[in-house]
Amino acid sequence: MREEHEGWSIAAAEPREAAVAAGVERAAGLQFAAQGLPEIATAEPTPEPLLAAAAREGRLLLLYDPEGAVAGFALCDEKDGAAYLAELAVHPRAQGGRRGAALVEAAAAWGRRRGKARLSLSTFRDIPWNGPYYRRLGFEPMPSDAVGPELRAVRDREIANGLEGTRREFLWRSL
């Protein structure tokens, strides 16, 4: 199913598109250097085999520009009984025009199709295109008692990978 947005479209990825998604993640990640996070700017993207597996499972949603080139993606999952937005990346050349918001809505639709009542994510609370952006899209901080073992494992991995836990937060919104 392909959703159209003013010449741009969103559709489930094919496994062969995993490498392109990884390239988008790398380009989008470069913006973190200006936020004092060079380790994210230089980090390896999500491994292609994981992205290809997500594509086979229908969990990798791609944003295509009007010429058909991949310009962004949403990597969906399930954690603690809710839909989970594991990664959202939009290539810098494609940012603006509510394209990231369209990907978030596509991830929300993915969760609704699976009967989930909420969409959650982990993000930086202070980076403009992270926590503040998701709040504008209707996300709210998760109460600590709603963070289950799978999300705690996400946070543990983030910290083990060098992300400062105090700058991170879990957000969620109803579907």
Q: pLDDT value at position 2?
A: 66
Which tokens sit at 166?
Answer: 């105090």
Which structural domain range is residue 21 located in?
3-174
| β-pair partners for 70 | 64
Confidence of residue 3 (pLDDT cuts 50, 70, 90): low
Nearest residue to 122 via CA among 79, 159, 155: 155
| Global pTM value | 0.94
Of the chain, the percentage scoring pLDDT greater than 90 comes to 85
Number of domains in the chain: 1
**Domain holding 108: CATH number?**
3.40.630.30
Confidence of residue 66 (pLDDT cuts 50, 70, 90): very high
55 has a pLDDT exceeding 70: yes
* pLDDT (mean) for 67-72: 96
Are 8 and 64 in contact, with CB atoms under 8 Å apart? yes
Confidence of residue 6 (pLDDT cuts 50, 70, 90): confident
What is the overall mean pLDDT for the chain? 94
Are 18 and 51 in contact, with CB atoms under 8 Å apart? yes
Q: pLDDT value at position 162?
A: 82
Nearest residue to 86 via CA among 77, 94, 95: 77
Q: pLDDT value at position 163?
A: 82
Nearest residue to 16 via CA among 48, 57, 58: 48
141 has a pLDDT exceeding 80: yes
